[in-house]
């Protein structure tokens, strides 16, 4: 099977949007569409359900995305071992980002790391916290940005940032006129959220902070923050979103609201296995400490 097509599909599975995926891959959108259709022909089944807002993975597409991530990680590791065997001096750091933390301190940290460690190849992927933890424990990653708390995974976590949690409401909703909203005002509102298994700790933290008297009334689950905010814009319900991600997406028809005290927050951390950190990972952890001190 064509590895290039699989790489294209994996980026599209992360973005769920042809325009953004094509931009990341530095190819034209029609060319990306042709490659994905060719991959579907190779596999013999549709991988995506296309719609006006982007696309969703089919059941087969979910399996292909998961297996492709593992396959490409093995390919990258093999390439690194081959380079080392022939005397290559470059090191590699396999790193995963969490979907809800794109931009902000994470991007700044990686930019600074690349500048200080030009001899290290960063192999970066994006996934939900639970998937990133699985990959870490399996040895297919060196470190991953995650949303704590984590439950008994045996990993070390370095705190990176604390972020305010906003509530996204439809532009025509009565709450859109409020400067700040209370927990009582959203207690019975229909809520859009992502599946709990994606990041159980973060999901529970959000529920406890915003809906302390029984949890949210979830009416729809979406795979990522962009789809979640598009559902808000369509009037399906309201949604909690970390401030940085919500403001970076800038979805029309959505108003972002602060919640009255106590301010709800979510944390961002860098997780890694506790023993035997490779030199490249030690460099990243050292940089985290330096930037936090500054």
Residue ranges covered by each domain of the chain: 1-71, 163-267
Q: Residue 250: what pLDDT?
A: 84
192-243-249 Cα angle (round to 5): 75
- In this structure, CATH architecture of domain 1-71: Orthogonal Bundle (1.10)
Q: Which CATH superfamily is domain 163-267 in?
A: Periplasmic binding protein-like II (3.40.190.10)
Q: Residue 228: what pLDDT?
A: 93
Residue 161: which H helix or E strand, with range?
strand 156-170
Q: Residue 274: what pLDDT?
A: 80
**Within 13 A of 196's CA, how many CA atoms are on the CB side?**
10
The average confidence (pLDDT) of the chain is: 88
pLDDT digits 0-9 by tens, 149-195 = 987 678 888 899 899 999 999 999 999 999 999 999 999 999 999 99
Tokens 């990959």, located at residue: 135
Separation CA 207–CA 44 (nearest Å): 41
Separation CA 62–CA 197 (nearest Å): 15
């Amino acid at each position: 099977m064509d590895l290039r097509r699989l790489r294209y599909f994996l980026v599209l599975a992360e973005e769920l949007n042809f325009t953004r995926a094509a931009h990341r891959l530095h190819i034209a959108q029609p060319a990306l569409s042709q490659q994905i259709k060719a991959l579907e022909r190779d596999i013999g089944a549709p991988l995506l359900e296309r719609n006006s807002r982007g696309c969703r993975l089919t059941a087969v597409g979910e399996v292909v995305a998961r297996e492709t991530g593992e396959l490409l990680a093995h390919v990258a590791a093999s390439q690194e071992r081959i380079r080392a065997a022939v005397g290559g001096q470059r090191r590699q750091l396999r790193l995963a980002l969490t979907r809800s933390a794109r931009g902000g301190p994470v991007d700044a940290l990686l930019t600074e790391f690349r500048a200080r460690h030009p001899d290290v190849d960063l192999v970066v992927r994006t996934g939900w916290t639970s998937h990133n933890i699985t990959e870490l424990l399996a040895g297919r990653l060196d470190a991953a940005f995650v949303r704590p708390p984590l439950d008994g995974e045996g990993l070390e976590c370095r705190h990176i940032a604390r972020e305010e949690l906003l509530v996204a409401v439809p532009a025509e909703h009565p709450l859109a006129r409020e400067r700040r909203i209370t927990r009582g005002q959203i207690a019975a509102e229909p809520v859009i959220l992502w599946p709990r298994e994606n990041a159980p700790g973060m999901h529970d933290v959000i529920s406890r902070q915003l809906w302390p008297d029984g949890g949210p009334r979830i009416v729809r689950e979406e795979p990522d923050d962009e789809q979640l905010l598009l559902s808000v814009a369509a009037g399906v319900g309201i949604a909690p979103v970390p401030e940085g991600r919500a403001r970076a997406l800038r979805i029309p028809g959505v108003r972002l609201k602060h919640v009255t005290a106590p301010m709800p927050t979510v944390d961002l951390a860098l997780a890694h296995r506790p023993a035997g950190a490779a030199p490249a990972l030690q460099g990243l952890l050292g940089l985290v400490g330096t930037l936090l001190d500054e």
